[in-house]
């Protein structure tokens, strides 16, 4: 049985190529100063004399996360907010764990393309083009699939056993926008009712599940 480390190497090699295509660096590193409230299209750099190995280290992807959520999936991100050394490097990773029949609901990453490697299980995954075409496929352990930047995509565990994937992104902070939560958590009732051809009481019922972010 291939080790977790072997699986990780496959994904890391892939994202190295994405890093080569990023903007030319003007210094060795720019470790994110997460304590600085001032941002200029990203985090400012920490004083180079204050950086430590911990700025480049994160062990949160090794363990299976609890999947007892409403959708049966949990995303553990290793982005610049968790791993400050990623700042300006144009890459990050995530681990996604799925309960049996769990779903990572339709969402978009506005700042990155994504590639996933199936660690365990069977998944049905796909994305939707701007022409409205669904590009979808069943995946098994060891398979790889790519989601283009900014397009709606999803993953669903189609087995009665847990599943996990590693995901890599060509951004240190890809951003994630859940379609249902964003729409029903932010838009006015009349906009939603007309857009989805729903009655206002139906809209209100759905919105109760998605409190707007402050």
Residues 171, 192 within the same domain: no
- Please check if 114 is assigned to a binding site: yes
Count structural domains, the chain.
Answer: 2
Whether 107 is in a domain gets the answer yes
Which residue range(s) make up the domain with 81? 54-176
- Burial of 178 by CB count in 10 Å (0-12 exposed, 13-18 middle, 19+ buried)? middle
Q: Is the confidence at residue 22, as pLDDT, over 80?
A: no
**Residue 27 pLDDT:** 81
> What does the alpha-carbon distance between residue 140 and residue 153 come to, in Å, rounded to a whole number?
18
∠ CA(127), CA(128), CA(134), 5° rounding? Answer: 90
Joined tokens for residue 190: 């009349």
* Cβ(152)–Cβ(108) below 8 Å: yes
- Please check if 200 is assigned to a binding site: no
Residues 153, 83 within the same domain: yes
- Please check if 104 is assigned to a binding site: yes
Whether 49 is in a domain gets the answer no
Residues 150, 74 within the same domain: yes
- Burial of 92 by CB count in 10 Å (0-12 exposed, 13-18 middle, 19+ buried)? buried
Question: Domain containing 141 — which CATH number?
Answer: 2.60.120.10
> What does the alpha-carbon distance between residue 212 and residue 98 come to, in Å, rounded to a whole number?
26
- Please check if 153 is assigned to a binding site: yes
Q: Report pLDDT digits (tens) over 122-165.
A: 999 999 999 999 999 999 999 999 999 999 999 999 999 999 99
Residues 59, 131 within the same domain: yes
């Amino acid at each position: 049985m291939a080790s977790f480390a072997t699986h990780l190497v496959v994904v890391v090699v892939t994202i190295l190529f994405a890093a080569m295509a990023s903007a030319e660096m003007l210094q060795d590193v720019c470790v994110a100063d997460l304590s600085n409230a001032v941002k200029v299209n990203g985090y400012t750099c920490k004083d180079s004399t204050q950086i430590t190995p911990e700025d480049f280290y994160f062990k949160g992807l090794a363990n299976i996360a609890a999947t007892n959520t409403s959708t049966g999936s949990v995303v553990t991100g290793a982005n610049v907010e968790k791993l400050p050394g990623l700042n300006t490097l144009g890459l990050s990773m995530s681990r996604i764990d799925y309960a049996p029949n769990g779903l990572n609901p339709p969402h978009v990453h506005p700042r990155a393309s994504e590639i996933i490697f199936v660690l365990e299980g069977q998944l049905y995954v796909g994305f939707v083009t701007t022409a409205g075409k669904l590009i979808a496929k069943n995946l098994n352990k060891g398979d790889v699939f790519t989601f283009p930047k900014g397009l709606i995509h999803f993953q669903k565990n189609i087995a009665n056993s847990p599943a996990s994937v590693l995901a890599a992104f060509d951004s240190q902070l890809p951003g994630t926008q859940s379609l249902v939560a964003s729409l029903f958590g932010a838009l006015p009732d009349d906009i939603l009712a007309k857009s989805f051809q729903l009655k206002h009481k139906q809209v209100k019922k759905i919105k109760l599940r998605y409190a707007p972010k402050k």
